[in-house]
Amino acid sequence: MPPADDPRTRERLRLAARMDAIQPFHVMEIQRRAFELEAGGRRVIHMEIGQPDFPAPPPVVDAAIAALKREPMGYTDALGIRPLREAIARFYADRYGLTIAAERIMITAGASGAFLIAMGALIGPGDEVLMPDPCYPCNRHFVRMFEGDATTIPADAGGNYQLSLADVRRHWGARTRGVMLASPSNPTGTVVPLETLRAILAETEARSGFALVDEIYQGLTYDGAHLPTALGLSDRVFVVNSFSKYFCMTGWRLGWLVAPAEYVREIERLAQNAFICVSAPAQHAALAAFSPASIAILEERRAEFRRRRDFLVPALRSLGFSVPLMPQGAFYVYAGCERLAEDSEAFAWRVLEEAGVAITPGIDFGEHRARSHVRFAYTRSLADIEEGVERLARLLGRAR
Ligand SMILES: Cc1ncc(COP(=O)(O)O)c(C=O)c1O
C-alpha cells in the first residue's frame, strides 16, 4: 500500500487534491523509533521535541481545578471569555506598554487555531503567501488548506534566516496576498530585526496585502529586554501568539490572535462555525498564567533555557556543527552538519540509532539547505543535554 503522502493514496481514498501537498512531520518517525528503543530498555536523549519540559505553572493548575468545581463549563463566546481577552490586553500594556483593545483579541485553540482562522479569512484559491525557508512547516500547509500557495524564499544566516524588505519586494507577484513571519523563528531561533519588520509591514500595507507575525516564542528571548511585539508597529498586522511555549501549556491547546479591528466580526463568524469555542476549562485556567506568581516561575524557566542555549551552541560548534548565529530566542539550534555528514536525514537516523540522541532533520522545515541542517531542541535538562553532547562527541570521534 502506498504511504499516506503518496498521490496514489489520494486516488484510492478519493481524497482532495490539496492532500498531496500536506507533508507528514519526519521527526515523528524519529520519535516513534526513539520510543521503540526506549521500550527495548535504551535511554534516549530527546532533543527533537518542540515543547517545554516544564509543566504549566502551579497557579494555572490550581485555577483549572477551582474553575472545574465552580463553572458549568458550557460553550463560551466564540472569541473567548472576556476576562481572558482583557488579561491578554493587560499583559500587552504591562510588558510592552501598548494599548491593545481586548475586542481585537480572540482566543484560539493554540497558535494552530489562530493560523487556521486567519488563513480561512484571508486566503482564497491561487493566492500566494511569502514565507522564509526554513520555517515552521505547518505555515505552508495552512495556506494550502485554503487552496493558496506558499512562496518560500531561501533565508540564510546572512539575513538572520528571516525575510528582508528586498525579498518581499522581489518575490511579490500578481497573486501575492501577504507575508508570514515568525519572530523568533522555529527552527532557527532568530528574530526579525525591528526596522526590517517595520519596513515589511509598511510594504505589505502599501500593497494592500496582509502581514501575519507568529510571536509564539516572543516571551522566550535571552539577550536583554523582552522582544517588542509587531503590534507596536502597526494596527493592521495580524499577530498570533500562544500559551504553548513561554507559558508551558502545550497540551491545553490555547492561543490567541490579534487582528485589525475591522476583521474581528468576520473572523468571529468563521470561529463560530469552525469551533463554536475553545476549551472552557483551559480558558479559565489561563487567567492565572498572567499572575505575578506564574510570571516569576516562567521567568526562572526562561533563565534556564538561556543557560541551556549558552552551553549547547558552543558545544555543537566544538563538535564540528556550524552555527553561524547565536539564536536569540525560542529553544532551538539550527545547526549545519555539512562537515559531518552528506545528508542530514540519514545523519539524524544515525545519531538516533548509534548514539541514542533524537534530533530533527532539516527537511521538516523546507528545502533550502535542508539536507545539510538538523535542529536541536534544548527542551531537556542541562544534564541530559550535556549527556547528549557527550554521546555525539563519541559518535563523531571527537574528544571533549
Ligand atoms: C513557530 C510555531 N508556530 C506555531 C506553532 C503551533 O503551536 P500551538 O498550536 O501549540 O500554539 C508552533 C509549534 O511548535 C511553532 O513552532
Q: 38-81: per-residue pLDDT in tens?
A: 999 999 999 998 999 999 999 999 999 999 999 999 999 999 99
Q: 9 falls in which pLDDT band (50, 70, 90)?
A: confident
- Atom nearest to 114 CA in ligand 1: 9
Ligand 1 centroid to Cα of residue 136, in Å, is 8
Q: Chain-centre distance of CA 397, in angstroms? A: 34
Exposure string over 368-387, b if 16+ CB within 10 A, otherwise e: bbbbbbbbbbbbbeeebbbb
- Atom nearest to 217 CA in ligand 1: 1
Torsion, Cα of 111, 88, 208, 206 (10° steps) = -120
Sheet holding 105-108, edge to edge: 105-108, 255-258, 238-242, 210-214, 176-182, 128-133, 149-154
| pTM of the predicted model as reported, rounded to 2 decimal places | 0.96
Q: 10 falls in which pLDDT band (50, 70, 90)?
A: confident
Condensed to tens digits (0 to 9), the pLDDT of residues 123-178 reads: 999 999 999 999 999 999 999 999 999 999 999 999 999 999 999 999 999 999 99
Ligand 1 centroid to Cα of residue 324, in Å, is 24
Ligand 1 centroid to Cα of residue 395, in Å, is 32
Return the number of other C-beta atoms located less than 10 Å from residue 10's C-beta. Answer: 17
- Atom nearest to 186 CA in ligand 1: 1
Exposure string over 272-311, b if 16+ CB within 10 A, otherwise e: eeebebbbbbbbbbbbbbbeeebbebbeebbebbbebbee
- Which DSSP helix (H) or strand (E) runs through 133? strand 128-133
Condensed to tens digits (0 to 9), the pLDDT of residues 279-314 reads: 999 999 999 999 999 999 999 999 999 999 999 999
| pLDDT of 231 above 70 | yes
Q: 334 falls in which pLDDT band (50, 70, 90)?
A: very high
What are the residues facing 150 on neighbouring strands?
129
Question: In angstroms, rounded to a whole number, what is the distance separating the alpha carbons of residues 174 and 300?
Answer: 48
Q: 399 falls in which pLDDT band (50, 70, 90)?
A: low
Ligand 1 centroid to Cα of residue 38, in Å, is 26
| pLDDT of 193 above 90 | yes
How are beta strands 176-182 and 128-133 bridged, if at all? parallel
Task: Indicate the DSSP class of residue 113.
Answer: H
Condensed to tens digits (0 to 9), the pLDDT of residues 339-364 reads: 999 999 999 999 999 999 999 999 99
Question: In angstroms, rounded to a whole number, what is the distance separating the alpha carbons of residues 26 and 264?
Answer: 36
- Which DSSP helix (H) or strand (E) runs through 28? helix 26-39
Q: Which amino acid is at 258?
A: V
